[in-house]
């Protein structure tokens, strides 16, 4: 069996003996994953990223894409005060802002566009001018934790390569104490802190609904929390290429729990489904007539974070050559 793997931006294309699988694993849930030679839009949007601090050299804020690539870094001033960095990002893409305090400082909160973000990680879909403000302050010397990955995938059944290995490093805990790590309330790792009160805990992420995950590390009543961006994953499999009749199976995870999903092929009626309590779904379509060599869009749509400031649509679009 011959396997051909073609990589586009955030999209995996695998051809296995006539069965075609397009996996938008690890892509942003608001980005259109379009398989058409990975042509990127030249349109950009402006982000005014402001770093405010009550003390000198507080740290920095990174602007990342959802794969973790750093697009820009805005450093705090060498004296107390505010600095603003102008960053240009691709239009209609999700970017992740990550506050990274120095040892002498502590991240306090976001205001402006990221005001409702629950922790040092804020994800936004940028479709127009955006103003983001991060606030740093004097450290409280409380325990803290730093995850290796600021955006993580779940483990969509039927997709490949969609689970991430997450490592969380904690410090300032009691020394030699039992320590646990929870991801959205689920116990995922445990261990013992070092004599100096440090801990490194690792686990493989699983599917979780929602836009953010809350990571909580705890030892002898001392707690550290942080948030990470919860990246959705979608895979589409189809049969019948070149035969004049095609059908599709679409699976996904990390959507809102018990929410609606729609799968539309060309001008045909949308096939709907509901996610389960974990935010996962499977849609199987009927057979569609499709002339060999013709191209039509397969669109997978849904929403995440409904009812919150960060509500955003999925809009995965695959171009199918019949």
How confident is the prediction for the chain on average, in pLDDT?
Answer: 82
List pLDDT tens digits, range 235-250: 888 888 889 999 999 9
pLDDT of residue 6: 21
Query: 221-279 pLDDT, tens per residue?
Result: 999 999 998 887 788 888 888 899 999 999 888 888 888 899 999 999 999 999 998 88
CATH code of residue 127: 2.60.40.10
Domain total in the chain? 3
Quote the pLDDT of residue 36: 24
Which CATH number characterizes residue 173's domain?
A: 2.60.40
Task: Quick: pLDDT tens for 191-222.
Answer: 999 999 999 999 998 888 888 899 999 999 99
Q: Within 13 Å, how many C-alpha atoms sit on residue 102's CB side? A: 15
| Cβ contact 71:64 at 8 Å | yes
Same domain, 246 and 273: yes
Quick one: 30 and 18 in the same domain? yes
Domain boundary among the residues 137, 156, 172 is at 137
Q: Is 150 left (phi over 0), alpha (psi -120 to 50) or beta?
A: alpha
Q: What are the CA-CA distances from residue 251 to residues 158, 236, 269, 280, 291 (Å)?
A: 7, 7, 19, 7, 25
Q: Give the end of a domain, one of 102, 137, 172.
A: 137
Residues 175 and 115 grouped into a single domain:
no
Q: Report residue 120: phi and psi, to 5°.
A: -75, 0
Token readout for 245 is 């009749």
Distance CA 261, CA 190 (A): 36
CA distance between the termini of the chain: 21
Same-domain status, 187 and 259? no
Is 276 buried (19+), middle (13-18) or exposed (0-12) by CB count in 10 A? middle
Q: Supply the range of the domain harboring residue 151.
A: 144-228
Residues 6 or more apart whose Cβ sits within 8 Å of residue 31: 10, 66, 92, 93, 94, 315
Q: Are both 236 and 221 inside the same structural domain?
A: no
Q: Which one of 205, 228, 251 terminates a domain?
A: 228
User: Are 213 and 281 in a shared domain?
Assistant: no
Q: Looking at the structure, do residues 170 and 104 belong to the same domain, yes or no? A: no
For residues 67 and 250, give the distance between their C-alpha atoms in angstroms, rounded to a whole number.
Answer: 22
DSSP of 271-321, one letter per residue? EEEE--TTS-EEEE---EE--TT-EEEEEEEEEESTTSTT-EEEEEEEEEE
Q: Give residue 310's pLDDT.
A: 67
Are 56 and 106 in a shared domain? yes
- C-alpha torsion sign, points 146, 151, 153, 154: positive
State the DSSP string of 149-182: -SEE----TT-SS---EEEEEEESSPTT-EEEEE
- By percentage, how much of the chain surpasses pLDDT 70? 84
pLDDT value, residue 160? 61
pTM: 0.77
Q: Are residues 200 and 255 in the same domain?
A: no
Beta strands at 59-64 and 93-101: parallel, antiparallel or unpaired: antiparallel
Domain match, 214 and 283 both: no
How far is Cα 265 from Cα 271, in angstroms, rounded to an integer? 9
- 156 or 282, higher pLDDT: 282
The verdict on 158 and 184 lying in the same domain is yes
Across the strands, what pairs with 182? 187, 216
Please check whether residues 107 and 122 belong to one and the same domain: yes
């Amino acid at each position: 069996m011959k396997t051909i793997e073609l990589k586009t931006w955030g999209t995996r294309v695998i051809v296995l003996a006539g069965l075609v699988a397009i996996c938008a694993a690890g892509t942003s849930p608001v980005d259109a994953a379009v398989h058409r030679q990975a042509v990127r839009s030249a349109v950009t949007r402006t982000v005014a990223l402001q770093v405010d601090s009550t003390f000198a050299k507080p740290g920095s804020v990174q602007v990342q894409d959802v794969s973790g690539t750093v697009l820009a870094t805005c450093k705090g001033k060498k004296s107390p005060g505010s600095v603003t960095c102008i960053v240009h990002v691709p239009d209609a893409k999700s970017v992740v802002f990550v506050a990274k305090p120095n040892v002498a400082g502590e991240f306090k909160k976001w205001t402006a566009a990221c005001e409702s973000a629950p922790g040092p990680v804020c994800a936004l879909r940028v479709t127009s001018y955006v103003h983001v403000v991060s606030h740093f302050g004097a450290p409280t010397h409380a325990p803290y934790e730093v995850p290796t990955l600021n955006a993580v995938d779940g483990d969509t059944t039927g997709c490949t390569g969609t689970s991430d290995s997450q490592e969380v490093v904690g410090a300032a805990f009691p020394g030699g104490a039992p320590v646990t790590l929870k991801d959205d309330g689920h116990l995922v790792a445990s261990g013992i802190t070092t004599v100096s009160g440090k801990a490194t805990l690792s686990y493989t992420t699983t599917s979780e609904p929602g836009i953010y995950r809350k990571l909580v590390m705890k030892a002898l009543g001392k707690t550290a929390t942080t948030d990470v961006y919860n990246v959705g994953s979608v895979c589409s499999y189809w049969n019948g290429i070149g035969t004049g009749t095609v059908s599709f199976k679409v699976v996904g995870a990390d959507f809102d729990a018990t929410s609606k999903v729609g799968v539309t092929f060309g001008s045909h009626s949308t096939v709907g489904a509901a996610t389960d309590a974990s935010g996962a779904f499977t849609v199987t379509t009927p057979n569609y007539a499709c002339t060999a060599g013709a191209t039509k869009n397969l669109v997978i749509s849904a929403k995440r974070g409904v009812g919150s400031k960060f509500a955003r649509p999925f809009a995965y679009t695959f171009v199918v050559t019949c």
